[in-house]
Structure 1
Amino acid sequence: MTSHRPDEPRTSQAVPNWQEESPYPAVPEPDFAVRRFTLIALLIAAIVLPCVYVAASAYANFRARVAEATDITLRTVRIGEEHALKVFDLNETLDARIDDLVRGLGNEQVRNQEATIHEKLKTIGGGYPQVASVSIFGPDGMLLANSRYYPAPHASIADRDDFTGIRDGKVIENVSKVMIGRVGAGETVFNTGIARRNEDGSFAGLVSVALRQSYFDAFYRELLGNEGEAVTMMLTREDGAVLASYPPLPVAQWSLAAPRSALATALASGNRDGVLHTRPNGKNGGAEIVAYRRVGSYPVFVSCAYRESAIWADWYRHLMVLVVSVFTPSIVLWLVIGLSLKRLAAEEQAWARWQAEASMRRSIESAYRQSRKMEALGNLVGSVAHDFNNLLMIVSANVQIARRRGVKAIDTELSAIERALKGGQSLTRQLLGVARKQPLRSETIEFARWMAASRELLRASLGAKVELVIDVSTNVWPILVDVAELELALINIAVNARDAMPNGGRFTVRANNLSLRHGDGFPLTGDFVEISLDDTGSGMARDVLAHAFEPLFTTKPKGMGTGLGLPQVFAFCERSGGLATIDSAIGAGTSVRLYLPRGSAVATAAPAAEPRREEPATTGGLRILLVEDNDEVAAGTEALLEMMGHTVTYVFNADAALQLVEDPAAPVDLVISDIHMPGAMNGIDLAEAIEALPSPLPVILVTGYAEELERARNVNARVLSKPFDIALLEKILQTIRHEREQRVQPAGKPG
């Protein structure tokens, strides 16, 4: 259900407010917002600018490192290409010299001159560190002569790829794959060879120079130097087979394609040189920057790779130094600004506390003055109402005496007196309610059901010209109120609405559930039912609205209003644990809202009346001790009690009453006592003293004050509020007499 929030008034909201002009001079509030904004702006700048600087510097440094790594790979691969070109050119010259040495000689001739040829081969290849051996093979692949061994061992290379490839004219096989030499100490070598030709151009065999892989590995290690941990170099064939590398590769990868798939693709595409950025892969690790170059016209490439992980590692170290150097002073600055913000917040809180204290002092002073005024007014009104209650008791008692004596000639006059008594009782109730001295009989009710039953009462209060609209959902929570006070409050508001709409209008009753929490800007917290009573009348001016809840304030003509209606409404709501507010403006009507607490128990319908049981006939009245300080009230009450058949003893205060109760010579069955009377004891003190006796007596207390009624409920006594109904008193006396007879009845006899 949608509910109206108490902080959303229609035009203006009035609650009792009697604050006066403050005697304290106003102090301009410091501009905390500007100072806070300035400090926050400085803090943001102190955070953002170093971050931007570090980010820009880090990015520029990373790009510079990538460019430097790329330059290193290009320079290194160029040197490696020049070195490899010289080696392969030299090998080509050696192959040509050996071919010239044995040109025109057949296999048998070469074998016959093997000693001479061996010495010459040893001389040709022995002076070069890269050359492992020089060999001459026949057309069938058999070794004919070798620079390292004489006589040449019986060996054949007919099944080797380089032999079959050169024989078949494949250029790429002029450089073989890496192998472990069959002739020699098992060195790791790769061969460069050329075909021997007969005079008719037919294939006559092969001249081969074996190059040491370790020679290239050593050169690459020396070339890379300190960069060796981050940079790798490789010498590969055109098909990607690895010839030499640093760091060295496992034997299993010699004959495989180049480990970097991007490089293998570039070599296969026929590019002579270039720079690649490879991606991470499962076989070969992380990303790399790879530069490659073809070695002259040979089917061989030199490549140099720089690992990006090394770039990132160096960059991270640089970044850490940069972060520490930049953010250490920045953090100090942040702390200084943070402390300044904290100090500013403390100053603002201190200012707010000072303002709140000043406002509280003004409110306390004003509230104290008003409370003194209201206390004096309440005491005056309460005293008048108490005395008026006694007068009503006198009149009521004497009317009952006259009726019991059966005076027929004045029945009409007695009825008029009784009607006047009811009006006086209502006026007294209003006076005591405004003075906060009217006792509340709170109970939990279903407002929707109660409102449906009270429709006719409201309609009668509004008159025929005013339309009554009731919009109360059955989902509205039960409320904890004094039903009589609630009824009186609605009647007071309805009468005011009727007077504000002399030409007719509409009076609307609504109810909504409302949960109020701390921070809602309302003086209540908890669950409440908001009852809105809206009229379409002329409304109230602002100056009238400010005094609407003040006792005895009225704008109605003389004799038309008491000034107690709206004060009773406010006092009833406040004493019930809620609040009342008014929204009004000239020409916009008036809305009175009652905030009443939610009942803690589910309201129940009134129990069905039980069949009346016939009381057993009793004989003899009660011996009643009447305690009353007002002689006329006592005389009327005593006469009534005696007419009911009881014996009455009258005393004027509680002290004398207690002496009679304690005197065994003057037996008493019941004490009826007023609460408020002179002497050392009041009625409640008397009831407590009687309750403490060895044989306590039943006590009936009579009062018109709410605070006395609340205390009286804590003692073992029946309580009647003035002016009480004589019939109710008679019923209570019958019950007490019946209880007395039950106690004195002989044991074993039925009651």
Structure 2
Amino acid sequence: MTQDRFDPRRASRRSAERQGDAVFPAVPEQNFHVRRITLIALLVAAVVLPCLYVAAMAFNDLRSREADATDMTLRTVRVAEEHALKVFDMNETLDTRIVDLTEGLGDDGIRAREAAIHQKLRTMGGGYPQVAAVSIFGRDGALLVTSRFYPAPPVSIGDRDDFVGLREGRDLEHVSKVMSGHVAGEQVFNTGVERRAPDGTFAGVVSVALRPSYFDAFYRELLGGTDGLPMTMTLVRTDGAVLAHYPRRPGEPNAVAADSPFAEAMKEGRRAGVTRMRSNIDGDNMIVAFRHVGSYPVYVMCGYRASAMWAAWYRHLAVLFLSIFTPSVALWCVIWLSLRRLGAEEEAWERWQAEASMRRSIESAYRQSRKMEALGTLVGSVAHDFNNLLMILSANVQIARRRGANGLDRELSAMERALKSGQSLTRQLLGVARKQPLRNETVALDRWLPASRDLLRASLGAKVSLVMDVGVGIWPMRVDVAELELALINIAVNARDAMPNGGRFTVRATNITFRHEDGFPLTGDFVQVSLEDTGVGMAPEVLARAFEPLFTTKAKGMGTGLGLPQVFAFCERSGGLAAIDSAVGAGTSVRLYLPRATEAPAVDVPVETGTEDGSAPHGLRILLVEDNEEVAAGTEALLQMMGHHVTCVLNADMALRLLDDGHRQHSRTGEPLPFDVVLSDIHMPGSLNGIDLAEAIRAFDATLPVILVTGYAEELDRARQVNVRVLSKPFDIALLESLLQGIQRELAQSGLDPAAHQVQ
């Protein structure tokens, strides 16, 4: 089954459960909002919690790596400090022994004993791999003796910074900068002590040249001895001059940057610590641990590359991401799919709710129609009798008009207005009783409905806005256009009264198919016309009686209680059904289900009027069959005033005997039949009704015109099958007169002049 998405209000579904005699079981509620919020909360938690966990773990891992790197540098720099301290202590001891060896000797005395002293220096310094040379310099910086050469070459260091510094008593110069040694012939830095003469004056310098490569080799071994090390080691003077460094790189600076945190720490005299800095030597951000080497003007510095730490952290973070977010992504997908499925389920639930509501309202309306059949019969009987009274009154008013009752125009006009009101009320009663004849025709709703916009606006009033939503490809339907128009007006008037402060009235049209297997009381193709308002709505007890004839909630004299019953009866007589949904404060939705037409809508063709010959037609011989004597008398008098000759009988049995006698006379003598037309009511006492009479007439004379008068819809189709003319009661006398004139012209054209049968 297909349908448009009906959403008048969800509350109306609950109220629809109480329509009709039975109370439907409550539909289980589905709290999709709570479920959606729960899933969204789960999705947020599934995203946020892993992210928080990963962030916490990553933060802790980074801090842990920083702590491990700091701890490693501290441990390593402590080992390097102990090593450097032993080396410098050994050098100091060696220097002291050499000073003792040359005590009391001047420069000349040392030169005099150069061979012996050279041998002793060679023995003393030759056993240490870090020592490149041991030398003794005189008062003016001239080389007196060295462990490296004999005899000593003519070398002077009188202008060298370390010599000058020792002579001037500067402690820093006890350890020189790295230089190319004049004696050692390689890159060295010197540790030296001054020699004193017996009088305490400066007598020269004893210098031990140390190899930086020795320290580089030790640092390589200390750090693991592989390329791509995350750590570096540096031996540096307190003025920032680099004495040894591992690993070395081409073009590296020979001093620590003066503005580095480590340089600041040395200036402050800190003996140990940890700092972070951008190393100008290693070209990287470093975690640097440093320690002062004993009392010497030297620091050892161990650095850990931040890039290596970050690279290891990124690798761990990638593993953490994969291990945490791989299942998390699967969980996100499951929750996302659950949200999509919930959306589809909610949409399906809404469709099911709308369909269930529609089914309940249709079933309730179907039961209502069965319940109203008995009441409809009663209303129909009352309307039929009332119709006869109106016919009597109408006929006598027409008689008075034709006789020219002077001075009674006002009174006759009032009677005619009352007749029209009574006829309208009778039509409504017969419509509710399903006995009002329908003049069905095929209608294209997408063309007809917009043309009715002005009529609906007039019914709704100025405060209510009108919205029309006609779908594409709406099927044609077969209905009585006048009844459809009246149904829309009745619904629009009710909507206007429900929206005293204004609102919106929406008209929608869609195609819908009901299938038997879906359990609907209707089956087949229908056009659904939905008329929705935003008014105050109906209480359940009012909704249950909305289609009940003569039931109204309006003030006395303001409503007849026939509006919605007319809508219901019209839809049912058209082969469809009407349903209503409403709740207090939620508005009302009335849905009309009208059957789809099999043929295309008719195209209006201009009617060509026949030409008149200017001669007045002669009166007809009419057989009037009417059981109500007063209706018969009034109709007979009017027909006679029109110039016709009327024979009146009270039932179809008597009329059939007259016609049968006339037919036998015609067969025996050739005389014409005594009547030109038969005008008969359908509903009469006796064994035959008007339709039976018409069928009997057709059996022996197919050319005799028959006009049947009825107020019952169920008799209309059968009457038309007999191929007779039909008037709906109460009928306008002018319409009957026009019909009789047409019969007169037909007789004249066929050569059967009514004048030939005139009875003088």
TM range (shorter): 0.5 to 0.7
Counterpart for residue 130 of structure 1: 130
Question: Counterparts in 2 of 1:665-744, with a 5 A limit?
Answer: 726=734
Deviation at 1:169, TM superposition (A): 2.5
Distance 1:581 1:27, change over 3 A: closer
**Which residue type is aligned with residue 299 of structure 2?**
F
How much is the aligned-residue C-alpha RMSD, in angstroms?
7.2
Partner residue of 1:511 out of 491, 502, 505: 502
Instruction: Pick one of 445, 458, 466 that aligns with 2:454.
Output: 445
Contact 1:191 1:210 in 2 (8 A): yes
Q: Name which of 10, 16, 19 aligns with 1:17.
A: 19
The verdict on how the C-alpha distance between 1:484 and 1:596 changes in structure 2, with shifts beyond 3 A counting, is same
Indicate the SS of the match to 2:274: strand
Distance 1:347 1:6 in 2: 19
Q: What CA distance in whole angstroms lies between the structure 2 residues aligned with 1:516 and 1:166? A: 111
Match of 2:90 in 1: 90
Amino acid at match of 2:614: G
Change in 2 beyond 3 A, CA 1:636/1:369 = same
Q: Are residues 1:369 and 2:367 paired? A: yes
In 2: Cα distance, 1:479 partner to 1:154 partner:
117
**Separation (CA, whole Å) in 2 of partners of 1:347 and 1:491:** 38
Letter in 2 for 1:18: G
C-alpha spacing 1:357/1:402, structure 2 compared with 1 (3 Å)? closer
Paired with 1:569 and 1:493, the residues of 2 have a C-alpha distance of: 14
Label 1:419 to 1:48 Cα distance change in 2 as closer, same or farther (>3 A): closer
Q: Of 412, 418, 421, which aligns to 2:419? A: 421
SS of corresponding position for 1:163: helix
Of 512, 536, 549, 1:551 maps to 549
Change (3 A) 1:439 1:297: farther
Cα distance change, pair 102–384 in 1 and its aligned pair in 2 (3 A): farther
Check if 1:231 corresponds to 2:222: no
- Alignment correspondent of 2:669: none
Task: Provide closer, same or farther for how the CA distance between residues 379 and 243 of structure 1 changes in structure 2, counting only shifts above 3 A.
Answer: farther
Residue pair 1:138, 1:206 contacting (<8 A) in 2 also: yes
Q: For the structure 1 residues 424 and 727, does the alpha-carbon distance in structure 2 shift closer, same or farther, using more than 3 Å as the test?
A: same
- Residues 473-488 of structure 1: pairs in structure 2 closer than 5 A: 473=463
Quickly say closer, same or farther: Cα 1:40–1:15, change in 2 above 3 A: closer
Conserved in 2, the CA contact under 8 Å of 1:509 and 1:532? no
* Change beyond 3 A, Cα 1:117–1:8: same
Match of 1:74 in 2: 74
1:297: how far off?
0.2
Find the residue that maps to 2:224 and give its secondary structure.
Answer: helix
Show the counterpart of 2:215: 216
Question: What amino acid maps onto 1:420 in structure 2?
Answer: A
**Counterpart residue number, 1:709:** none
Larger mean Cα displacement after TM superposition, 632-641 or 83-92: 632-641
**Secondary structure of 2:273 counterpart:** strand
User: Closer, same or farther in 2 for the Cα pair 1:449/1:38, shift >3 Å?
Assistant: closer
Structure 2 residue ranges without an equivalent (≥5): 1-7, 441-447, 471-482, 509-527, 592-608, 645-675, 681-689, 695-702, 746-760
In the TM superposition, what is the alpha-carbon distance from 1:77 to its structure 2 partner?
1.9
Letter in 2 for 1:564: L
Q: Does 1:302 align with 2:300?
A: yes
Task: Note if contact 2:365-2:577 (Cα within 8 Å) is conserved in structure 1.
Answer: no
* Range that drifts further, 290-299 or 361-370: 361-370
From 611, 616, 620, the counterpart of 2:614 = 620
Aligned ranges 1:535-550 → 2 under 5 Å: 546-550=544-548
2:263 counterpart SS class: helix
- What aligned pairs does 1:293-372 form with structure 2 within 5 A after superposition? 293-307=291-305, 310-311=308-309, 366-372=364-370
* 2:22 match: secondary structure: coil
Contact 1:570 1:579 in 2 (8 A): no
Q: What does residue 164 of structure 2 align with?
A: 164
8 Å CA contact 2:256–2:281 kept in 1: the answer is no
Name the CA distance, whole Å, in 2 between partners of 1:570 and 1:444: 22
Q: Secondary structure of 1:510's partner?
A: coil
Residue 212 of structure 1 deviates from its aligned partner by: 1.0
Give the letter aligned to residue 291 of structure 1. Answer: A
Please name the residue that 1:253 is paired with: 253
- Helix, strand or coil: the match of 1:509? coil
Q: Unpaired segments of 5 or more residues in structure 1?
A: 453-471, 498-506, 518-523, 534-539, 584-590, 598-614, 658-665, 688-699, 705-721, 738-751
Please tell me whether residue 271 in structure 1 is matched to residue 270 in structure 2.
yes
2:210 maps to amino acid: L
Deviation at 1:491, TM superposition (A): 8.0
Structure 2: distance between partners of 1:592 and 1:217: 91
SS in 2 for 1:304: strand
Q: CA deviation at 1:284?
A: 5.7
1:83, distance to aligned residue in structure 2 (A)? 1.0
For residue 18 of structure 1, give the secondary structure of its aligned residue in structure 2: coil
CA distance 1:13–1:40, change in 2 (3 Å): closer
Report the 3-state secondary structure (helix = DSSP H, G, I; strand = E; otherwise coil) of the residue aligned with 2:502: strand
Q: 1-side partners of 2:616 and 2:155: how far apart?
A: 151
1:223 Cα deviation from its structure 2 partner: 1.7
Following the alignment from structure 2 to structure 1, what is the Cα–Cα distance between the partners of residues 48 and 145? 78
Q: Are the counterparts in 1 of residues 540 and 583 from structure 2 also a CA contact under 8 Å?
A: no
Amino acid at match of 1:148: R
Give CA-to-partner distance per residue, 1:199-234, whole Å, 9 cap, x none.
Answer: 555544433222111111111121222798333222
Distance in structure 2 (CA, Å) of the matches to 1:446 and 1:561: 20
Query: Residue 485 and residue 202 in structure 1: after superposition, are their counterparts in 2 closer, same or farther (change >3 A)?
Result: same
CA distance in 2, matches of 1:349, 1:412: 65
The 1:376–1:120 alpha-carbon spacing in structure 2 relative to 1, beyond 3 Å, is farther
- Tell me how far 1:70 sits from its aligned partner: 3.8
Paired with 1:135 and 1:629, the residues of 2 have a C-alpha distance of 165
* CA displacement at 1:171 relative to structure 2: 1.4
Partner of 2:257, secondary structure, is coil
For residue 206 of structure 2, what is the aligned residue in structure 1? 207
Task: Work out whether residues 240 and 256 of structure 2, in 8 Å CA contact, stay in contact via their aligned partners in 1.
Answer: yes
Following superposition of structure 1 onto structure 2, how do residues 106-125 of structure 1 map, counting pairs within 5 Å?
A: 117-125=117-125
SS of residue in 2 equivalent to 1:195: strand
Q: Deviations over 1:477-511 (max 9, x none)?
A: 689998876776788899xx9xxxxxxxxx98221
Shift of 1:181: 3.6
Partner of residue 290 from structure 2, selected from 285, 292, 295: 292
CA distance in 1, matches of 2:133, 2:308: 39
Shift of 1:548: 4.8
Q: Secondary structure at the match of 1:83?
A: helix
The question of whether the paired residues in 2 share the 8 Å contact of 1:674 and 1:683 is answered with no
Q: What TM-score do you get using the length of structure 1 for normalisation?
A: 0.58
Question: CA separation of 1:255/1:355 partners in 2, compared to 1, >3 Å: closer, same or farther?
Answer: closer
Identity of aligned residues (%): 53
1:85-140 CA-partner distances (Å, limit 9, x unpaired): 11111222233344445556666666676555544443332221001223344555
C-alpha distance after superposition, 1:413-463 (max 9, x if no partner): 6435413312222313433664687889962139887777xxxxxxxxxxx
Quick one: which amino acid aligns to residue 191 of structure 1?
N
What is the CA–CA distance in structure 2 between the aligned matches of 1:358 and 1:552, rounded to whole Å? 29
* 1:461-500 equivalent positions in 2, closer than 5 A: 473=463
Q: Secondary structure at the match of 2:453?
A: strand
Alpha-carbon offset, residue 381 of structure 1: 6.0
Partner Cα distance (2:281, 2:320) in 1: 35
Q: Compare 422-431 and 348-357 and name the one that shifted more.
A: 348-357
Map 1:527-542 to 2 at 5 A.
530=534
Instruction: Give CA-to-partner distance per residue, 1:340-362, whole Å, 9 cap, x none.
Output: 99999999999999999999987
Q: Could you tell me whether the CA contact under 8 Å between 2:292 and 2:299 is conserved in 1?
A: yes
Indicate the SS of the match to 2:129. Answer: coil
Aligned residues: 620
TM-score normalized by the length of structure 2: 0.57
SS at match of 2:252: helix
